[in-house]
Amino acid sequence: MKGGRGPLLAHTRGSPMTRIHIRRVLPAPGEILVKMGDQVEAPQRIARIPRHGEFQVINVAHTLGLANHDLSRVMVKKRGDRVEAGELLAAKREGLPFLHKPCRSPITGRLVAIGYGWVVIEAESSGEGQFAPGDKTGDLRAFVAGQVTSIVDRRSVTIETVGAYISGACGVGGEGNGILQVLAKNPADTLTADQIGMGANNAILVGGAGISPDALDRAREMQVQGIIVGGISSSLYDLATGFSFPIVATEGYGNLPMSPIVFDILKRHEGREASLSGQTGDARDNLQPAIIVPLAEHQPEMENWPLIEDVSVEFAHVGHQVRVVRHPLLGRVGELISMPTTPQQVPSGLSLPGAQVAFKNLERLVYQQDSILTRDEGHLQPDVVQFVPWLNLEHII
- Judged by CB under 8 A, the residue of 25, 33, 112, 123 near other proteins is 112
DSSP letters of 161-227? Answer: EEEEEEE-SEEES-EEEEEEEE--SSTTPEE-GGG--GGGTTEEEE-SSEE-HHHHHHHHHTT-SEE
Q: Segment 42-61, which members bind other proteins (CB under 8 A)? A: 55-57, 59
For residue 113, state whether it binds other proteins (rule: CB under 8 A): yes
| Cα-based distances in Å from 373 to 6, 368, 369 | 30, 6, 9
For residue 7, state whether it binds other proteins (rule: CB under 8 A): yes
Give the chain's count of helices (H) and strands (E): 4, 32
| Cα-based distances in Å from 340 to 323, 336, 389 | 18, 11, 10
Is residue 325 within 8 A of residue 333, CB to CB? The reply is no
For residue 9, state whether it binds other proteins (rule: CB under 8 A): yes
* Size of residue set near other proteins by CB under 8 A: 61
Strand runs (DSSP E) across 237-308, as ranges?
247-253, 273-277, 290-294
| Residue whose CB is less far from other proteins, 56 or 192 | 56
- Judged by CB under 8 A, the residue of 369, 377, 378, 382 near other proteins is 369
For residue 313, state whether it binds other proteins (rule: CB under 8 A): yes
CB of residue 70 to other proteins, shortest distance in Å = 13
| Residue whose CB is less far from other proteins, 6 or 294 | 6
For residue 254, state whether it binds other proteins (rule: CB under 8 A): yes
How many CB atoms lie under 10 A from the CB of residue 62? 12
| Residue whose CB is less far from other proteins, 296 or 366 | 366
| Residue whose CB is less far from other proteins, 73 or 136 | 136
Does the bond joining 328 to the residue before it have cis omega, within 30 degrees of 0? yes
CA 322/CA 325 separation, integer angstroms: 10
For residue 258, state whether it binds other proteins (rule: CB under 8 A): no
* Binding-site ranges for other proteins (CB under 8 A): 2, 7-11, 28-29, 55-57, 59, 69, 112-113, 115-116, 118, 120, 134, 136, 169-170, 231, 233-235, 252-254, 282-284, 286, 311-313, 325-328, 330, 346-352, 367, 369-373, 388-389, 391-392, 394, 397
